[in-house]
Structure 1
């Protein structure tokens, strides 16, 4: 009898056939080969099924699952089908470097419950920047809530038993776009064995379609997530810390808008952050930068 794969890779997808082909190619090229991949297909209307079939690899299976617009539901379907000791998440538009699984499994086998590595963020123009996550002391249950997310989905491998213990992703509609952040918080409530790799082992591909609307939606989801934990977790009664964290959410939205040159919208978010937490020097500096961006003459 064949041993079950040590790593089950969960790949949700919808009409991303060319990118899915690229993602799966980086899975097949892993130096660590004891894996199976579960492509959770949201009834794509492109040639997704043909892309999967073309690999002709029995370790890659494709299941059709209607997620009703909630990607966390697709990931939960993959978790339910996982037979490996560990689950690795890979969005169909992201990619891994060849030693990703090898290095993550080595750390997990030494006793960690979750490992997350650095990655390159690639924008639509091909420009990249290195983004690191963690460190471990920043990814405690309390710090994840009060200081923000320190983990990235496609850069993370988690012990399967722990994922199933917390029942996977919360598929509440109000948490769409922060369901991964919510999962890390709940995992951290069960385990403090989170490890981080400073070496970049993958690429996260950013798509800027309707970016302002997406930032607004993410902010709303982040505020809903904070409301969830502030209202239910009696361990966190520090009202000052709560105000500071809510201000951080608006500040983060402002930074995202500023990067895309939406200076007026960024100014609104920075200003809201200051109303909530008026003793933040960086928010005052951000307001000034946004004003400079607004009144800077446009180059001809």
Structure 2
């Protein structure tokens, strides 16, 4: 049996596809098949893939554009590997990605999926983005809508998908990976390697940019459904407060501001509720919720807003110093880049 099937969907990806394929072929772990599924491209994607002579590449040409979910499910249905790894046509694998992921999964049998942290990049900058490492951290992040597993970094035991009939679901369009992690998490542990082993290309043609409002709306629905599944006694008002605390959307503010008092009150009752029910690791949940509080100061407008940002940052710094410093550095990079773009437009 082939060790890994790499599923790489491609639609009009001529600008990136060779770079992505080369990064897979250059892996230090070599026992894999690269399943490139050309989703009805009208550019040179097909011919560029056909130019490769590596026997590990399997090119499948869909007769017309069927969309990402159908392509991914078809890829799962014809995969031959013990593990399934995801890859996007515009991203770049670092050479040791597969070696390190398969080593972890082979040595830790109770884990069924392994992702990695990432290195964001575009034409002007790059930055490291840390993902939660342990199963406890990932589960808290899943339910409270924070970074959990980055889709193009994941490697999954294929038997878990087959034995439990797990597939990407069309009713969760634009958030199909998010609901998939919930389905997988019912059957074993999840993990992220701390190291950034994928260069993640940030650009305006990404699904997360083009369909951002739709993605956020379906994510709110998922959060409500999943929180309700573990805490069915919560009121609608309490669920609304969880959404305000956790599912931030850029450029969209609530009709009435989520006050600092309400932020603190919401965090406290969530922690108290979890202390009584014990569903999440209390320590992992506490760190995550205070990170969410820090994020609130960047999405909601408060009186003395910059002072509030500093206050929330110091609060989070006292709870998780290392990540707090990493996050503030990354946010500062983003803000500086935005100002540079403004200046360039004005000039």
- Fold shared per TM-score above 0.5: yes
* SS of equivalent residue, structure 1 residue 55: coil
CA distance in 1, matches of 2:32, 2:155: 12
- Equivalent residues of 1:222, 1:249 under 8 A apart: no
Aligned match of 2:138? 139
Quote the residue 2:161 is aligned against: 163
Instruction: Tell me the SS of whatever aligns to 1:25.
Output: helix
Equivalent residue number for residue 69 of structure 2: 72
1:118 is aligned to 117
| Mapping of residues 1-300 of structure 1, within 5 Å | 4-65=1-62, 70-110=67-107, 111=109, 112-123=111-122, 125-136=123-134, 137-140=136-139, 143-164=141-162, 165-172=164-171, 175-192=172-189, 194-209=190-205, 214-229=211-226, 233=229, 236-239=232-235, 242-251=239-248, 253-254=249-250, 266=251, 268-269=252-253, 274=258, 278-279=262-263, 282=294, 283=296, 286-288=299-301
Distance verdict in 2 for CA 1:242–1:109, change over 3 Å:
same
The answer to whether the 8 A contact 1:166-1:186 is kept is no
| Contact kept? 2:12, 2:43, Cα under 8 Å | yes
**Distance (whole Å) between structure 2 residues aligned to residue 83 and residue 288 of structure 1:** 51
Q: Distance in 1 between matches of 2:186 and 2:257?
A: 28
Distance 1:20 1:224, change over 3 A: same
Kindly state the Cα deviation for residue 155 of structure 1 after the two structures are TM-superposed: 1.1
Unaligned runs of 5+ in 2: 265-292, 307-334
Residue pair 2:27, 2:94 contacting (<8 A) in 1 also: yes
Structure number, greater radius of gyration: 2
In structure 1, how many angstroms separate the alpha carbons of the residues matched to 2:161 and 2:256?
36
Query: Residue deviations 1:204-223, cap 9 Å, x none?
Result: 10112598763222211212
Separation in 2, partners of 1:183, 1:79: 13
Q: Which TM-score applies when normalising by structure 1?
A: 0.80
Deviation at 1:72, TM superposition (A): 2.0
- Runs of 5+ unmatched residues, structure 1: 255-265
Identify if the C-alpha distance between structure 1 residues 225 and 56 changes in structure 2 by more than 3 Å, giving closer, same or farther: same
Q: Given the superposition, is the C-alpha separation of residues 284 and 27 from structure 1 closer, same or farther in structure 2, using an over 3 Å criterion?
A: closer
How far apart, CA to CA, are the structure 1 residues paired with 2:174 and 2:66? 11
State the shift of 1:66 in Å: 6.2
**How has the CA–CA distance of structure 1 residues 166 and 246 changed in structure 2, closer, same or farther, with 3 Å as cutoff?**
farther
Q: Figure out how many residues of one structure are paired with residues of the other and give that number.
A: 275
SS in 1 for 2:262: coil
User: Normalising to structure 2: TM-score of the pair?
Assistant: 0.70
Describe the shift of the 1:213–1:79 C-alpha distance in structure 2 as closer, same or farther (beyond 3 A). Answer: closer
CA distance in 1, matches of 2:56, 2:256: 50
1:65 and 1:171 map into 2 onto residues whose CA distance is 18
* C-alpha distance in 2 between matches for 1:118 and 1:228: 27
Structure 1 residues 270 and 284, CA gap change in structure 2 (3 angstroms): farther
